[in-house]
């Protein structure tokens, strides 16, 4: 049986090109995909909270240290984060999305490490815009990315491509939607009990997700639930922007009685007011307060039903327009 049930066709953002039909196969995720779509386009996209970050790039960096892996969180531009990833065993380092090259080199010098690698999550200028300048300042860098539009690219990667930074293993996770070539980088230390790390760019934020510039709701749902959501729950999440407080305010709007959201929002405000980053979270934590990873929860479904007139059953087919 087919149900040709149109989804709301007005899109609040002209840059979200969802004009083609997606015919989705019968699967248990269908109701949740529909809820996810409604939550983004009719919920999050219309939920506006003004939150400015004055002199964000001048905020101090922070270091997340483990015995085998160290990450320095480097604020950049108005709300971006770059990440210096250091292998403590070999003192080899990688930089994630180096939009401000001099700041990157200063950090590497401070730690006394050899910068060998650039991990680019996607081609947008606020993430890849410093690549070409950086490779001129530091010749010989390997520049990884999943899109030929990435500046100074030397190593194009795809889903499950693996390589090493020193003794650290890096696995590439394809998460198309924000951009078609978006890559997240999952980093582990072999034979270590320490939590791994994932650098998610503009796919997964603390309590939120990225805009659908070049993809579909189905792609973002798969990226969050089936790719990132299947990583170990203790995995530390390092995202591309400081959007945490805004995202948690929307999450509170969706689930006003969720105590995890209330606690995280209070914590994030205190951190930010104290000049600190609200990064990292963990994959396990995201399932407690991120509405886009909680579409299977009854409280989120109840909220979406308030503005989405049709919520499908698992036996339905769906045409998303």
**Token reading at 207:** 């309590």
Catalytic residue among 79, 126, 253, 316: 126
159 is catalytic: no
Whether 241 is a known active-site residue: answer yes
Which of 34, 123, 127, 303 is flagged as catalytic? 127
Q: Choosing from 29, 34, 97, 178, which is the catalytic residue?
A: 178
> Is 127 known to be catalytic?
yes
Task: Give, in order, the Cα–Cα distances in Å from 233 to each of 160, 251, 259.
Answer: 19, 20, 19
Instruction: Calculate Rg over the CA atoms of the chain.
Output: 20
CA–CA gap between residue 158 and residue 184 (Å, rounded): 10
Q: Are 47 and 244 in contact (CB under 8 A)?
A: no
The residue annotated as part of the active site, out of 34, 123, 182, 241, is: 241
Residue corresponding to tokens 């386009």: 41
Is residue 178 annotated as part of the catalytic site, yes or no? yes
Candidates 34, 123, 124, 303; catalytic one: 124
Catalytic residue among 122, 123, 182, 303: 122
The dihedral built from the CA positions of residue 45, 51, 55 and 58, taken in this order, carries a sign that is negative
Rounded to the nearest 5°, which phi and psi values hold at 145?
-175, 165
Answer yes or no: 124 catalytic. yes
**Separation CA 7–CA 56 (nearest Å):** 39
Mapping DSSP to helix (H, G, I), strand (E, B) and coil, where does residue 89 land? coil
**Active-site residue (options: 34, 87, 202, 303):** 202
Residues with catalytic function? 122, 124, 126-127, 178, 202, 241
């Amino acid at each position: 049986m087919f149900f040709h049930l149109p989804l709301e066709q007005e899109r609040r953002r002209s840059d979200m090109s969802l004009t083609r039909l997606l015919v989705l196969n019968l699967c248990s995720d269908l109701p949740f995909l529909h809820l996810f779509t409604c939550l983004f386009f009719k919920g999050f996209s219309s939920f506006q909270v003004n939150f400015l970050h004055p002199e964000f790039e001048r905020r101090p960096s922070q270091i997340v240290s483990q015995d085998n892996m160290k990450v320095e969180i480097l604020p950049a531009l108005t709300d971006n984060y770059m990440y210096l990833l250091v292998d403590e065993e070999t003192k080899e380092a990688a930089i994630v999305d180096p939009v401000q090259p001099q700041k990157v080199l200063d950090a590497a010098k401070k730690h006394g490490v050899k910068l060998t690698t650039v991990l680019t999550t996607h081609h947008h200028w606020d993430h890849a815009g410093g690549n070409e300048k950086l490779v001129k300042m530091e010749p010989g860098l390997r520049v990884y990315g999943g899109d030929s539009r990435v500046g100074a690219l030397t190593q194009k990667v795809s889903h499950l491509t693996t390589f090493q930074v020193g003794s650290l293993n890096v696995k590439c996770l394809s998460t198309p939607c924000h951009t078609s070539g978006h890559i997240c980088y999952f980093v582990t230390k072999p034979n270590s009990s320490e939590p791994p790390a994932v650098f998610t760019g503009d796919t997964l934020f603390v309590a939120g997700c990225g805009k659908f510039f070049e993809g579909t709701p189905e792609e973002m749902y798969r990226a969050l639930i089936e790719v990132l959501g299947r990583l170990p729950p203790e995995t530390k999440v390092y995202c591309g922007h400081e959007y945490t407080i805004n995202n948690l305010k929307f999450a509170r709007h969706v689930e006003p009685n969720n105590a995890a959201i209330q606690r995280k929002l209070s914590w994030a405000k205190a951190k930010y007011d104290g000049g600190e980053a609200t990064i990292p979270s963990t994959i396990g934590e995201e399932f407690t307060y991120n509405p886009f990873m909680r579409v299977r929860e009854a409280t989120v479904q109840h909220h979406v039903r308030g503005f989405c007139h049709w919520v499908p059953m698992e036996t339905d087919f769906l045409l998303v327009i």
